Structure 1
Amino acid sequence: MHIQRKTTLIVLVCVALATVAWLSIRPAKTKLSASSAIPVRVVSVAQQDIPRFVSGIGSVLSLHSVVIRPQVDGILTQLQVKEGQLVKAGDLLASIDDRAIRASLDQAKAQLSESQAQLQVAQVNLKRYKELSIDDGVSKQTYDQQQALVNQLKATAQGNQAAIDAAQVQLSYTQIRSPVSGRVGIRNVDEGNFLRTSDTQGLFSVTQIDPIAVEFSLPQQMLPTLQGLIAAQHPASVDAFLGADTDSPAAVLLGEGRLSLIDNQISATTGTIRAKAEFSNATQTLWPGQLVTVKIQTALDKAALVVPPTVVQRGMDSHFVYRLNGDKVDVVPVHVAYQNSDLTIVTGVQSGDVLVSDGQSRLKAGAQVEVLKEPPQVIQTAQAQARP
């Protein structure tokens, strides 16, 4: 037993010595250098003309929308248009029973004829009395009374003519004509119904579809820009999209219009300013009450320095980029003039400068970098997607 323990101890000592010897003669493991290259991807600064845009939510409004209501009481005898029909200003829309009004008109005309006949007789007598008054054939009182009678009959004739004019106006109301060009809405009454001027519902509406307007709101900080666009020689273009993301392939362009109006006050509750744009709508893709996203070109930056949004980093007080300098990078402060989801316009760099677009999290000034290439499968996929 004692010999067995001694043997085991000797074996353990031999193993320990062998381990120490192996560790002393094995190759030293290469340590990572603190200055090893950091993998990054880069892009070059491009120079091109970049339009600036601002977007907002708006609603489509008709420039003219009229509810057709009767102006005289009567039975609706005929509807001349159908629901959804396009009409022009002045087109006959409906007819109301006009027999009672025509009878009043004929009565007024008869009264006018009677007054004119009486006036004619009175004027002849006045002329005769005037000649007789020269030789005192009639008294001056008789002459004055005849003059007063003539004046009275003239006033009566004028009143009869006014009654005729009023009856003709009432008669014109029995022919309801469209005050605007537009589209007829859903009908609320049918032929044979008795219409009253006190009815608030109306027969139907006529709404102008082409041209049409879009009203939208923008932050109050945009007021100077909007004023400049309104004062420009050519009105600013405004695009209306179906969808919130106007840059998305799913966004549908509904129409192209022009900025036409800025509201006369800013909303104190929301801090926004309302504006309006007018659109040609021959295809009727814009519809009153529809919600759309408007996109306005506010400026055009010529020869702007453009980089992807991932290039620009945010510092404590300003923005900066990493510029490639040989196999190292420099920190370059930049000013962001404009930015959207696709690009950023910067100043502080030169066209053609190579900037880091990916891998900035491990970088610092003077760090050594290794520029990575796009994987072959990514390039092939991009090429495949670009083929028609």
Structure 2
Amino acid sequence: MNLKKALIAAGVVVALAAAGYAGFRGWQSARMSKMSMMPRTVAVQVAQAVRQDVPTIVTALGTVTANQTADVISQVQGHLTNLYFKEGDFVKKGALLAKVDTRGYEANLQQYQGTLAEAQAQLANAKSVLERYERLYRQDSISKQDLEAQRAAVKQYEGSVRSARGQIANASVSVGYGRITAPISGYIGIRQRDLGNLVGPSDSTPIAVITQTTPIAVEFSIPQGNLSEVVGPVRSGQKLQVDVFDQSGLGLLARGTVSAVGNTIDQATGTVKVKSLFDNRDSKLFPNQFVNVKLVTGTLKNAVVVPTSAIQTSQNGLYVFTVGDDQVAHKAAVKIGPATEDGKTAILEGVAEGARVVTAGADSTSDGSKVTVVEPKAVDTSAVEKKSKGVGRGRR
């Protein structure tokens, strides 16, 4: 009897436990369903759209070229007897660089000087005879034919004098060419001819090459679509700013202005050549150096700008998420303009000044999402610094 009552009591307990578990599962399922229907809150970081002037920039790859280059070549043929420059030195225009053996030209000069003296003596004698013939002709002592013949002789000797003087001038120039001077100021390169070499005006190899690096030029090409932004201002006298950076694009090497724009479009590339000049006082630019170029063609005044990280891309175009006072994210299509140097981008359409845009957390955000604005966390570097100091002491 007692066993039967015990079994009945155990069954009642099991039944009550099963009913309680079923009720708990039903309550939990209902709670989860209710929570899933509640809007999810996303943590985001935001920035405010502000106004500032934004320069419009055309980027390109450029090559540094010497503003002027001059080959040092002898204007007369002869052996190279002296060199007065040191390779790599800066030389001024007119500085003596080399000498060529001009003894042959000096001999010719002396010969022409002798010819001139002889012609001058003959001219003086012819003029004296002409004066006598003119007196005799007035006295009717000689014929007019003899007088005219003497006048012709005077003109002949005058021509001989002029010819001799021309030969002397030519020989003097040749002798002067024996002193080779710098045609421009600049840095002279590696010597390409040695002492004793026969040099002359027809040489294909110069004695050396001088390059002018102050000022120096940078040549680059821009798309023909940007031509109107450059040609008009340059030809009207406006100075367009050109910034030159190193190969990494981070280090500013020099700042100059556009000096010339090409007059034809390269049909193969659809680009136009542009030349800019730089003072290069610090010699940071070197001929044939490859550089990154940023040409400032104008300025977008008082434009609305947002951090570039806020701009997202989709199949339908560019957009940003804006956050209103209700802490709800709204998707806004935008039209962008040029970028700034400090990581912002101009917004031409889609965002107004003062709007808050999502800069971090946009991947988890959708149109209409509830958001929580959080501040960026500062990175605690003290532990890293302590660890690095400990490593340093261990090494010592």
TM-score of the superposition, structure 1-length normalised?
0.87
**Structure 2 match to 1:6:** none
**Structure 2 match to 1:292:** 291
Q: 1:188 to 1:365 in 2, by over 3 A?
A: closer
Provide Cα deviations, 1:103-122, integer angstroms capped at 9, x if missing partner. 11111011111111111111
Aligned equivalent of 2:191, options 184, 187, 197: 187
Where in structure 2 are the equivalents of 1:359-378 lying within 5 Å?
359-375=361-377, 377-378=378-379
Where in structure 2 are the equivalents of 1:245-324 lying within 5 Å?
245=249, 251-314=250-313, 316-324=315-323
AA at the equivalent of 1:366: G
AA at the equivalent of 1:312: I
Aligned equivalent of 2:179, options 164, 175, 180: 175
Provide Cα deviations, 1:35-66, integer angstroms capped at 9, x if missing partner. 23233222111222222322211111111111
Is 1:344 the counterpart of 2:348? The answer is: no
Q: 1:128 to 1:18 in 2, by over 3 A?
A: same
Aligned equivalent of 1:148, options 146, 152, 155: 152
Is 1:130 the counterpart of 2:131? The answer is: no
**Structure 1 match to 2:328:** 328
Where in structure 2 are the equivalents of 1:61-210 lying within 5 Å?
61-210=65-214
Separation (CA, whole Å) in 2 of partners of 1:140 and 1:232:
72
Is 1:50 the counterpart of 2:50? The answer is: no
Separation (CA, whole Å) in 1 of partners of 2:90 and 2:339:
45
Separation (CA, whole Å) in 1 of partners of 2:15 and 2:95:
112
**More off after superposition, 144-153 vs 325-334:** 325-334
Shift of 1:296: 1.9
AA at the equivalent of 2:373: V
AA at the equivalent of 2:119: S
Separation (CA, whole Å) in 2 of partners of 1:298 and 1:45:
24
Gaps of 5+ in 2: 1-9, 386-396
AA at the equivalent of 1:227: V
Shift of 1:262: 0.6
Provide Cα deviations, 1:229-258, integer angstroms capped at 9, x if missing partner. 41465412212111243xxxxx32222211
Pairwise CA RMSD of aligned residues?
A: 2.8
AA at the equivalent of 2:286: W
**Structure 2 match to 1:23:** 22
**More off after superposition, 11-20 vs 236-245:** 11-20
Q: 1:337 to 1:197 in 2, by over 3 A?
A: closer
AA at the equivalent of 1:268: Q
Separation (CA, whole Å) in 2 of partners of 1:78 and 1:215:
37
TM-score of the superposition, structure 2-length normalised?
0.85
AA at the equivalent of 1:321: V
Q: 1:16 to 1:153 in 2, by over 3 A?
A: farther
Aligned length, in residue pairs: 369
Separation (CA, whole Å) in 2 of partners of 1:279 and 1:351:
39
Shift of 1:315: 5.0
Provide Cα deviations, 1:163-220, integer angstroms capped at 9, x if missing partner. 1111011111101111111111111222233324332112111111111100011211
**Structure 2 match to 1:5:** none
SS at match of 1:209: strand
Q: Is the 8 A contact 2:78 2:198 kept in 1?
A: yes
Separation (CA, whole Å) in 2 of partners of 1:28 and 1:303:
59
Where in structure 2 are the equivalents of 1:348-359 lying within 5 Å?
348-359=350-361
SS at match of 1:168: helix
Separation (CA, whole Å) in 1 of partners of 2:236 and 2:329:
45
Q: 1:285 to 1:203 in 2, by over 3 A?
A: same
**Structure 1 match to 2:223:** 219
Separation (CA, whole Å) in 2 of partners of 1:338 and 1:189:
53
AA at the equivalent of 1:111: T
SS at match of 1:131: helix
Q: 1:85 to 1:258 in 2, by over 3 A?
A: same
Separation (CA, whole Å) in 2 of partners of 1:48 and 1:136:
105
Provide Cα deviations, 1:304-350, integer angstroms capped at 9, x if missing partner. 21111232234555533322221223333332122368211113333
Provide Cα deviations, 1:332-381, integer angstroms capped at 9, x if missing partner. 33321223682111133332211222333454443322223323x43x56
Q: Is the 8 A contact 2:54 2:340 kept in 1?
A: no
SS at match of 1:265: coil
Provide Cα deviations, 1:99-142, integer angstroms capped at 9, x if missing partner. 22111111101111111111111111111111211232001111
AA at the equivalent of 1:54: V
Shift of 1:27: 7.2
Q: 1:169 to 1:13 in 2, by over 3 A?
A: farther
Shift of 1:154: 1.1
**More off after superposition, 304-313 vs 278-287:** 304-313
Separation (CA, whole Å) in 1 of partners of 2:24 and 2:256:
82
Separation (CA, whole Å) in 2 of partners of 1:154 and 1:89:
40
